[in-house]
């Protein structure tokens, strides 16, 4: 009887240990993805080309709320040239879902812009798709849409 109880305790503790490992790994990956999103947010305000290029994949497809689709070069050029000029960006209601080497990030982007010298205040829903390339998370797709 003691052997059965000890065996059950051992099995239970192994299950809990494995669950904690899995939870820790997911949390680490979510933290890494959140850091990429934050680096993108800061780079969109600063216009720092190296930072922008470091977080987006060479195969980026970047969809704007008005329907315009850009590749990596066009996206980076619009931000660094200040044609797309973000003064502030706040991200709210963010969620991160990770499955294997793909992450989906959803949030609301609230920003003040000054595109072409025209100040505006925008509120957009955003969906980002990131893929782990070697050891780094890279944004491979982005889609923006209007929210009420």
User: Can you tell me the distance from the alpha carbon of 85 to that of 34, in angstroms, rounded to the nearest whole number?
Assistant: 23
pLDDT digit string (tens) for 15-72? 444 444 445 545 899 999 999 999 999 999 999 999 999 999 999 999 999 999 999 9
52: Cβ contacts below 8 Å, ≥ 6 apart? 40, 43, 44, 75, 76, 79, 80
- Residue 23's nearest CA partner among 5, 15, 126, 121 is 15
How would you class 130 by CB atoms within 10 Å of its CB: exposed for 0-12, middle for 13-18, buried for 19 or more?
A: buried
CA 141 to chain CA mean position, Å:
10
First to last CA, the chain: 63
Q: Tell me the three state secondary structure of residue 100.
A: coil
What's the pTM value of the predicted model, to 2 decimals? Answer: 0.81
pLDDT digit string (tens) for 89-124? 999 999 999 999 999 999 999 999 999 999 999 999
DSSP state of 44: H
Q: Tell me the three state secondary structure of residue 67.
A: coil
């Amino acid at each position: 009887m003691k052997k059965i109880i000890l065996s059950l305790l051992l099995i239970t503790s192994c299950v809990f240990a494995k669950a904690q490992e899995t939870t820790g790994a997911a949390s680490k990956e979510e933290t890494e993805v959140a850091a990429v999103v934050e680096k993108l947010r800061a780079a969109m305000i600063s216009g720092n080309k190296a930072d922008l290029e470091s977080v987006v994949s060479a195969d980026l497809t970047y969809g704007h709320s008005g329907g315009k689709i850009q590749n990596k070069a066009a996206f980076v050029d619009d931000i660094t040239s200040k044609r797309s000029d973000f003064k502030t960006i706040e991200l709210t209601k963010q969620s991160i879902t990770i499955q294997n080497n793909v992450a989906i990030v959803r949030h609301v982007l609230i920003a003040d812009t000054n595109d072409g010298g025209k100040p505006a205040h925008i509120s957009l829903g955003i969906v980002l798709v990131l893929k782990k390339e070697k050891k780094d998370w890279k944004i491979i797709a982005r889609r923006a849409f209007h929210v009420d």
